Structure 1
Amino acid sequence: MQALDLFSGPGGLSLGMKAAGIQPIASVEKNKDAVATYAAHTSTAEHFCADVRTISFNRYRGKVDVIFGGPPCQPFSTGGLRRGTADARNMFPEFIRALNEVKPAAFLAENVPGLATRDRIHYLSQLLREFELAGYNVTWQVVMAADYGVPQKRRRVIIVGMKEGEFWFPKPTHGPKSGRPYVASGTVVSKDQPFGEPPNCPVLYAKYPDPRRSPYAGHVYNGGGRPVDLDAPCHTILASAGGYKTHWIDTLDIAPGYTAHLLAGGTPREGTVPGARRLTREESALLQTFPRGMRFAGSVSSQYTQIGDAVPPLLGQVLAKALKEQMEGHSVSPETHFEPDTAAPLLAAAS
């Protein structure tokens, strides 16, 4: 099967698609570093380093089976200004335009989980209706990457549309409901042997800590970076990493004792956390399930951004495999897949 990749970033989703047998023949991304990264691992595709609004996709009608991609998520991110449809960066209309011009058999769109929060539910319901008006049977779900073998607690909204039939999401392969443990971050990241060069950015105790029962949660240290529990999936790798929002390895096991100290009413500490080192770009990429040794173009900050913006390739592969099999008419079972949760209940709730 052949595909068109929109808002492609460095190609995390495309790597998963290729592994499942869906080949991107063209990609669109306006960040030149991300385009260079993508072109290095998928040189056979046509790459457009341009604003998607300047491109006509009519040339791909009859040539593309699937359109996939992640329209910019800042309008709906809980970490941003959350302007939603009022934000000029909302590119879902362009994604739908591409569907209407190309008319592929299926599409897969991903976005931040903030799109499915209560204050965005009306827009999500409108968006699903527009996909249906474009001729697709639409299902959607908030998925967590760790449920499919990714050593990271990354959550995304996945929307899938098919001209024929309805997409069934694969059930989790890891976690409590599967019988298999989550993949721990310590399987790809070492406490004592960093892979790559950590950023020179110290981890500091917060002046006014807000601890939680877990030593790996709460606001206990300055910045958005948190200590990594090597026995569990990592926190979401952020696109804003590279500085104080970079998660860190607690090489001296300071975090458990310090959290217990705070919860017992102890006085907050000051200064630098001993033994703390930030995740490197290479380690962040591994936690995203990019291939070991994959190179990212551009400056250090650009590389961190590309890694944090991407869809984990392994998650993309799991979803793409299910999509391809169902497009080919393979049967699905309630034992291995979720029965489709269509747009109808959401539309009713939002009306």
Structure 2
Amino acid sequence: MKGIDLFSGPGGLSLGIQRAGFDIVANVEINRDAMDTYALHHGSSNHFNEDVRKIDFSPFRGRVDIVVGGPPCQPFSIGGLRKGHADERDMIPEFIRCLNEVRPAYFLMENVPGLTLKKARPYFESVLSRLAACGYHINWSVINSADYGVPQKRRRLFILGSRSHRLLLPTPTHGENTSLPHVSAASRLGPDPIGEAPNCPVRFAKYPDLRPSPYAGHVYNGGGRPIDPNGPCHTILASSGGYKTHWIDTENIAPKYHSHLRAGGEPWQGIVPGARRLSVEECAIIQTFPSEMAFSGKRSSQYKQVGDAVPPDLAFAIGAALYSQANGVQSPSGLVPANEDFNQMELAL
């Protein structure tokens, strides 16, 4: 079964989808560095390093079974000011145009959870309606990557479509009500540094904002958080590479400082002893990229590619469920029931 990956970035979604059994024959990515990375690891694909709005996808009609991709999510993210469909970066219409031109049997769209929230909800429902109008049975869910063995708490929206029947997402394999615990980021990284960390000291915040966990809240300056040695870390950000880069607490300061603050102690000042920022290579490991994966461009570009990507292990879990359903071999016990909210809306179309 052949596919196209739109807005592919360095290829996180393609890597997982291909492991699941699909053959990605073309990708679209406007960023030069991300395309160089993708081409390095997917040499047989047709690579379109240009604006998706300039591409005619009709030559792929009858040659492609699935279209996958994550249209730029800035219009619906907190960091992107949530301008939604009024934002020129909204590429969801281009994803839908590709579906209409290619008419694949299936599609998989990935995006930010903010698309489903109150302010964006009317637009989200209009997107679901437009996807259904293309001839697809639709299902969607916001899932946490950690529930599928990724050592990172990363919530993402996935929308699945099929021309023949409603596709279901895989049930969680890790965490509560499963046989496996969540995977810790520390267990994947190991005890020794990998790669070159950014020279951005971690400092104690002047006005710390505590949370129940010593590895959450705004206790240190910048957007980076200490890595929890016993569980998944916070989402690896595309803005990593500076003060938003997560860090390893080599001297176990975080739990001690958290207890000190909860007991009413005064905030500490200065640089956090033993705090070491994550390198590109370590961020890529947490994102579940293969160890041999090399990223093109400057370090800032590499961090962005890693942080923007779909974790390949998550893409594999969803792709494997989709592939098996497409071939009629998936056991219903391993799938999440269809989203009832949309079932009801679809009936009203």
The normalised TM-score by structure 1 is: 0.97
Offset at 1:206? 0.6
Contact 1:28 1:50 in 2 (8 A): yes
| Aligned match of 2:33 | 33
| Aligned match of 1:313 | 312
| Aligned match of 2:67 | 67
- Cα distance in structure 1, aligned partners of 2:268 and 2:143: 37
| Aligned match of 1:264 | 263
Matches within 5 A, 1:89-104: 89-104=89-104
- Cα distance in structure 2, aligned partners of 1:213 and 1:319: 32
Asked whether 1:336 is paired with 2:309, we answer no
| Aligned match of 2:197 | 198
Offset at 1:24? 0.8
Offset at 1:106? 0.3
Change (3 A) 1:270 1:323: same
Matches within 5 A, 1:165-184: 165-184=165-184
**SS of 1:118 mapped into structure 2:** coil
Offset at 1:232? 0.2
Q: Deviations over 1:13-64 (max 9, x none)?
A: 0000111111111100000000000001100001011000000000000000
Offset at 1:344? 3.1
Q: Deviations over 1:96-154 (max 9, x none)?
A: 00000000000000001111112211111111000000000000000111111111111
| Aligned match of 2:149 | 149
Gaps of 5+ in 2: none
Partner letter of residue 278 of structure 2? L
Ranges of 4+ aligned residues in structure 1 off by more than 4 Å: none
258-267 or 242-251, which moves further after superposition? 258-267
Query: What is the percentage of aligned positions where both structures have the same residue?
Result: 55
Offset at 1:346? 6.9
Contact 1:204 1:221 in 2 (8 A): yes
| Aligned match of 2:10 | 10
Offset at 1:317? 0.6
Contact 1:139 1:343 in 2 (8 A): no
Partner letter of residue 309 of structure 2? A
Offset at 1:345? 5.2
Matches within 5 A, 1:139-288: 139-190=139-190, 192-288=191-287
Partner letter of residue 339 of structure 1? P
Q: Count residues in correspondence.
A: 348
- Cα distance in structure 1, aligned partners of 2:233 and 2:303: 16
Offset at 1:168? 1.1
Asked whether 1:130 is paired with 2:130, we answer yes
CA-atom RMSD, angstroms?
1.4
Q: Deviations over 1:237-273 (max 9, x none)?
A: 0000000000000000000111111112111111100
| Aligned match of 1:295 | 294
Contact 1:128 1:343 in 2 (8 A): no
Partner letter of residue 157 of structure 1? L
- Cα distance in structure 2, aligned partners of 1:203 and 1:20: 40
| Aligned match of 1:77 | 77
- Cα distance in structure 2, aligned partners of 1:295 and 1:170: 30
- Cα distance in structure 2, aligned partners of 1:288 and 1:27: 20
Contact 1:106 1:160 in 2 (8 A): yes
- Cα distance in structure 2, aligned partners of 1:343 and 1:106: 21
**SS of 2:328 mapped into structure 1:** coil
Change (3 A) 1:176 1:121: same
Change (3 A) 1:345 1:18: closer
Offset at 1:79? 2.3
Offset at 1:343? 5.6
- Cα distance in structure 1, aligned partners of 2:232 and 2:157: 19
Offset at 1:230? 1.7
Q: Deviations over 1:166-225 (max 9, x none)?
A: 1111100110121210111112113x4111111111001111111112100110000100
Offset at 1:293? 2.6
- Cα distance in structure 1, aligned partners of 2:265 and 2:229: 26
Partner letter of residue 301 of structure 2? S
Contact 1:36 1:297 in 2 (8 A): yes
